[in-house]
Amino acid sequence: MLKYVIRRLLTLIPVLFIVSVVIFLLIHLVPGDPAAVMLGDQATPEQIAALRETLGLNEPLVLQYVHWVRDIFHGDLGTSLFMSGTMWEIIRSHMIPTVQQTLVAIAFATIVGVPLGMLAAVKRSRAADQVISAFSIIGVSMPSFLMGLGLVLLFSVKLGWLPSSGYKEIGAYGWGTHIRYLLLPGIALGFIEMGLIIRMTRSSMLEILGADYMRMAKAKGVSRFRMFARHAMKNALVGIVTVVGLAFISCLGGAAVTETIFNIPGIGKLTLNAVMRRDYEVVQAVVLVVSLLNVLCTLVLDLLYGLIDPRVRME
């Protein structure tokens, strides 16, 4: 197991190197000048050139890359041209809202998706199954921005139950307010994943319910509840965990839309704004950190399989 983990961690090195080169070249080769953005539309070319010089943007590209990589090895991910604080602080402060929103999304998707998927499997080909299947298709095909706007219209504008946008920190506002501000974005973000989880749970359960050992259990007179809880559910869990794990990674990377609609200062919005204003080092650092997180999440997912199912356990 340890060897496997070390081997997987070593693969990070080439992955991160390739990511760093690609993102550095991409963001620097795209036209657009942060100095022009900083000085506004009415700045003269001379003023922009002077600020570029001050910001060190006129150095050769290779030299800028070497400096950036050297700084990373010293624990410094770079400096934002527009924001104060260290890059770690910037990423951390933006990552927290995204992770919190993602957790709410995954919690919603799992709590709603898994029971509905199981119910659909149990009630196969009946009305309940058809309604749930239709619901899951709506979930998969509904764009998160549309879902978000619909939720705001219903729960904020019409009913006035929940705030329409914003993010409130736990420390300053308490848990209640914090969660209330995350509910709508979490549901909007998790709705697609909910649809996927329903479909995955249903198909996994159907496969297991048709297995020989389930028929044997039924023949032996095992109770219906015990059959589902002890045998079917446990064996279906591998597939469900895969979908939930992938959903978590997908939500982390795909939160930019809901963050924009709900005005949440997350990592997606940070990346979008940094690209728009050509805040080079922020884009580079965020992409690097998110890539690292994705690889680590996948590793954790693989290790979880082993815990759930001894058949796929390493060694």
Partner 1 sequence: MKRTLALLLACVLCVCCLAGCGGGSDSAANGSETARSGGAAVLNIALDGEPGNLDCVMSSDDIISEVVYGSVFEKLVAFTAEDQVICELAESYDVNEDHTVYTYHLRQGVRFHNGEEMTADDVVASMNRWIDNADNANSLVGGAHFEKVDDATVQITMETGTLYLNEMIAGLGQQAAIMPASVIEAAGEGDLVSEYIGTGPYAFDEWRADQYIRLVANAGYQPYGEEGDYSGWGGHKTAYYDEVYFYFPGDTATVVDGIRTGEFDVANTLKGDDYPVFEGNDDYTIFSAETELQMLIFNKSQGVGADPLVRQAVQAVINSNDLLYAAMGNEDFYKLYSSYMFQSSANWYTEAGGACYNQNDPDAARALFDQAGWTDDDVFRILVNSDATDYYAEAQVIQEELRGIGINCEVLAYDSATYSTTRNTKPEAWDAFITGFGPKVLPNMNLFLSASWAGWCDDARIQSDLAAIAAESDLETARQIWSDLQAYMYEEYVPVVKFGTTERSGVCTSEVEGVFMKERMVWVNAHPVSE
Nearer Cβ to partner 1 (31/221): 31
Looking at the Cβ atoms of 199 and 231, the one nearer to partner 1 is 199
* 79, two tokens: 């400096």
Q: How far is CA 303 from CA 7, 8, 36, 85, 172, in A?
A: 13, 11, 48, 36, 37
Rounded to the nearest whole angstrom, what is the least distance from the CB of residue 18 to partner 1 in the complex? 26
Query: 268 or 295, CB closer to partner 1?
Result: 268
> What one-character DSSP code corresponds to residue 26?
H
Considering the complex, state which of residue 42 and residue 125 has its C-beta at the smaller distance from partner 1.
42
CB of 31 to partner 1, least distance (A): 4
| The total number of residues written for the chain in this structure | 315
Residue 282 near residue 223 (C-beta atoms within 8 A): no
Cα(38)–Cα(232) distance, integer angstroms: 59
Nearest distance, CB of residue 4 and partner 1, angstroms: 39
Q: Which is nearer to partner 1, 183 or 238 (CB)?
A: 183
| Minimum CB distance to partner 1, residue 201 (Å) | 16
C-alpha 242/C-alpha 204 separation (Å) is 11
Q: Is 34 helix (H, G, I), strand (E, B) or coil?
A: helix
Residue 99 to residue 252: CA distance in whole angstroms: 7
* Nearest distance, CB of residue 95 and partner 1, angstroms: 12
Closest distance of CB 152 from partner 1, Å: 5
Count CB atoms within 10 A of the CB of residue 237: 18
Nearer to partner 1, 109 or 295 (CB): 109
Measure the CA angle with vertex 148, ends 131 and 183; round to 5°: 90
| Nearer to partner 1 among residue 113 and residue 295 (C-beta) | 113
Contact between 20 and 288 (Cβ < 8 Å): yes
Residue from 282, 251, 268, 243 nearest 144 by CA: 251
Quote the DSSP letter at residue 310.
G
Do 191 and 150 meet the contact criterion of CB atoms below 8 Å apart?
Answer: no
Closest approach, Cβ 75 to partner 1, in A, equals 21
